[in-house]
A and B are shown apart, each in its own frame.
Chain A
Amino acid sequence: AQSVTQPDIHITVSEGASLELRCNYSYGATPYLFWYVQSPGQGLQLLLKYFSGDTLVQGIKGFEAEFKRSQSSFNLRKPSVHWSDAAEYFCAVGSNQGGKLIFGQGTELSVKP
């Protein structure tokens, strides 16, 4: 079955600290992987995506993610978190042929001063 698991529902980090949000997926074919961010009252905005090639991908706002096929993971990282990063983060997987994206349940990030 196709699925995405984000094990952490809520994470709190201090401003300036590093961040890692976990994402594990189950997908039968070659996956396309995505991280989206949702600020309160807003739609989902794409942070970064992985299609092929280099397994470390860079995104907007200083985020990066690493694809590890052996672990079926696509964890999101940021070396130094800013207060404006407080939001909900969604991992998603989809086919390279189009079709639907399967989303995880989301991880809510809080940033403390």
Chain B
Amino acid sequence: DAGVIQSPRHEVTEMGQEVTLRCKPISGHDYLFWYRQTMMRGLELLIYFNNNVPIDDSGMPEDRFSAKMPNASFSTLKIQPSEPRDSAVYFCASRDRGGTEAFFGQGTRLTVV
């Protein structure tokens, strides 16, 4: 398996624009997580899915953020409209139901100017 795949690796956008981050989890994994990493706040869990259903979205900062998982092999995190304070590295991770470790993608570095 190629691991968790995220795209794009880097994204630069202007304030007010819509941004969509993409993630393909490891095949067979039941859980998918979206994390945000910043210098100030460290690694924050934004939302996670179990079998494509959102379980906990309490970490989503505000209504500008939304996440979907239309099928077991694809998830998106959308920010609309984007703001400079959204600049961060966004990680996707997946985990299987047996409770083993989470596998992380390489992350998407988002810069909002």
Given contact pairs A46-B101, A96-B99, A106 touches B107 in the complex (Cβ within 8 A)? no
SS of B interface (majority): strand
Cβ contacts under 8 Å, A99 to chain B: 31, 48, 50, 55, 99
How far, in whole Å, are A94 and B97 apart by their CA atoms in the complex? 12
Say yes or no: A32 contacts B43, CB within 8 Å.
no
Q: Pick the contact of B104: A44, A51, A98 (CB < 8 A).
A: A44
> By the criterion of a CB under 8 Å from any partner CB, how many residues of chain B are at the interface?
25
For chain A, the count of residues having a C-beta within 8 Å of the partner chain is: 24
CB pair B99–A94 under 8 Å, yes or no, is yes
A32 and B33 in contact, given A100-B56, A106-B42 (Cβ under 8 angstroms): no
Pick from B42, B45, B100: contact of A100, CB below 8 A: B45
Quick check: is A17 within 8 A (CB to CB) of the other chain? no
Given A44-B91, A44-B104, A98 contacting B97 (CB threshold 8 A):
yes
Instruction: Rank and list the top 7 A-B pairs by shortest CB-CB distance, nearest first.
Output: A43-B104, A96-B99, A44-B104, A98-B97, A105-B42, A43-B106, A103-B43
